[in-house]
Amino acid sequence: MAGTTERAAREERRELQTERLRDTVAHAYENVPFYRERLDEAGVSAEDVQSVDDLERLPFTTKEHFRDEYPDGLLAVDDDELLRIHASSGTTGKPKIVGYTERDLGLWHEVMARSMAAAGIGADDTVQNAYGYGLFTGGLGFHGGAEELGATVIPSGSGNTGRQVELARDLESDALACTPSYALYFAETAREMGVDPRELPLSTVLYGAEPCTEPMREELEERLGAVGIENYGLSELIGPGVAVECREAQDGMHIWEDHFYPEVIDPTTGETLPEGEEGELVLTSLSKEALPVLRYRTGDLTSLTYEECACGRTTARMNGVTGRADDLLVVRGVNLYPSQVEDVVLEFDAVAPYYRIDLYREDELDRMELTVELTGGFDGDREALCKGVLERLENTLSVRPDALELVEYGTIERTEVGKVKRVYDHR
């Protein structure tokens, strides 16, 4: 049963959001020079923000701002008030540094415990946490939430997958927390060890940190015989714990709106979009102390609904992320996202959930090559399958790869640690 906060009337929640937004803007203005300058430039004072209706008057925060203010220009507290520092991977430049006070860590544990409870995890369960520990927020985020909930945690961390399978079997893990691609690799490794992954005690996979299409979720659930629950978060706001699917409905991810205010905007114009229309997710922290964040452009493409969920929760729900605004591929004038390619190829039963896209430029023209794995033991007509996949891609996405290679199962490199890479742009 959802808690009182999760079932509150929208009018009641809106009053709380307004109160917390006003405090957050004042806190940011007074303690973060970056925000003071940005708000002054926009002609907005903290006193001008009287309700969440005034949110659109505030300027956006972007990942570039985090990098420009590296390492600690966006922090609102002194070093002696920080209890922990995390950071993004920094694979595309300077890492984004994020900090937590004691109160922030308490908040993080609270929203993660709330998320795991919504996923059906209870105090009697054992959670095997295969997210990476360290600067990445995934490992310690899930760890703290599980302990707050009273569950038993196995801090297995990422990698060493054979050992992970043994732990899940021998310690009777109820839930596996990991990326969706790692869940598939975990199941694959179990089979190679002679262990039927469906016979492991796992009943839940708490996945996140990567886009996961519905066909990918179905594959994951089928291989492990477990329910896949999607989690959403990002370091800049808190880490995992921003939103989660409920086990009852699995119909969009509940955003914990008492702490994170969501908007969806047109990624080109910046205009706020109405309910149900897809655009870029923007989030504002409402209760962060060390790192208040105003209107952060996440880059993630989704849509929002405010209808009450079948589970009884009244929070806004975001649909699964279909891609990232900066992941948009433009191939011969056609816009597409890797997740759209995945959706199409996984319609074919003979195709395994492993693929890669290579992009080249030859004589000023784009060239797209797609490599797709076959399921184990495939002995069908490769030529017919190749033709079917190409035609389906062209009819659905208006783009036809210049080359499609069907390779044996296990050919494409797996990822034990970190996020999977699908696109290799050589242009």
Nearest CA to 276 among 258, 264, 268?
A: 264
**What letter represents residue 161's amino acid?**
T
Token pair recorded at residue 303: 């849509």
**Is cis: bond before 71, omega within 30 of 0?**
yes
Output the pLDDT for position 27.
98
**Amino acid 10: pLDDT:** 93
The pLDDT mean for the chain works out to 93
CATH of domain 1-322: 3.40.50.12780
Residue 73 zone, left/alpha/beta (φ > 0; ψ -120 to 50; rest)? alpha
pLDDT at site 362: 83
407 in Cβ contact with 369 (< 8 Å): no
Close Cβ partners of 234 (under 8 Å, ≥ 6 residues apart): 242, 283, 298
Higher pLDDT, 284 or 340: 284
Q: pLDDT band for position 93 (50/70/90)?
A: low
Nearest to 396 by CA among 326, 348, 325, 327: 348
Confidence band of 1 (pLDDT split at 50, 70, 90): very low
The tens digit of pLDDT for each residue in 378-388 reads 889 999 999 99
Residue with tokens 């996440």: 298
In 158-293, alpha helices (H) = 161-170, 180-192, 214-224
In the chain, where the domains are located = 1-322, 328-425
Q: How confident is the model at residue 426 (pLDDT cuts 50, 70, 90)?
A: confident
Rounded to an integer, the average pLDDT of 185-204 is 97
Lowest-confidence segment of 133-142, 154-163, 356-365 by average pLDDT = 356-365
CB proximity list for 60: less than 8 A, separation 6 or greater = 270, 282, 295, 296, 297
Sheet containing 403-407: give its strands across.
Answer: 403-407, 365-374, 351-362, 423-425
Range of lowest pLDDT (76-85, 321-330, 380-389): 321-330
Band of residue 92 on the pLDDT scale cut at 50, 70, 90: low
pLDDT reported for residue 230: 98
91 has a pLDDT exceeding 60:
no
For 209-248, where are the E strands, in sequence order?
227-234, 239-245
| Tens-place pLDDT, residues 147-184 | 999 999 999 999 899 999 999 999 999 999 999 999 99
Q: Would you place residue 333 in the very low, low, confident or very high pLDDT band (cuts 50, 70, 90)?
A: confident
Residue type, 128: Q
Q: What would the mean pLDDT of 250-278 be, rounded to a whole number?
A: 96
Confidence of residue 3 (pLDDT cuts 50, 70, 90): low
Helix (H) or strand (E) holding 330: strand 329-331
Amino acid in position 175: A
Cα–Cα nearest to 281, from 259, 294, 299: 299
Domain 328-425: which CATH class?
alpha beta
Q: What is the mean pLDDT of residues 319-326?
A: 81
Question: Residue 200's closest CA among 245, 147, 164?
Answer: 164
Q: Is it the case that residue 326 has pLDDT exceeding 80?
A: no
Which one has a higher pLDDT value, 213 or 372?
A: 372
pLDDT at 89 over 90: no
Tokens 């296990």 correspond to 410
Provide the 3-class DSSP secondary structure of residue 110. Answer: helix
Q: Is the pLDDT of residue 88 over 90?
A: no
Does residue 42 have a pLDDT over 70? yes
Instruction: Check residue 176 and give its pLDDT.
Output: 98
Res 54: pLDDT: 96
Of the chain, the percentage scoring pLDDT greater than 90 comes to 80
Q: Is the pLDDT of residue 347 over 50?
A: yes
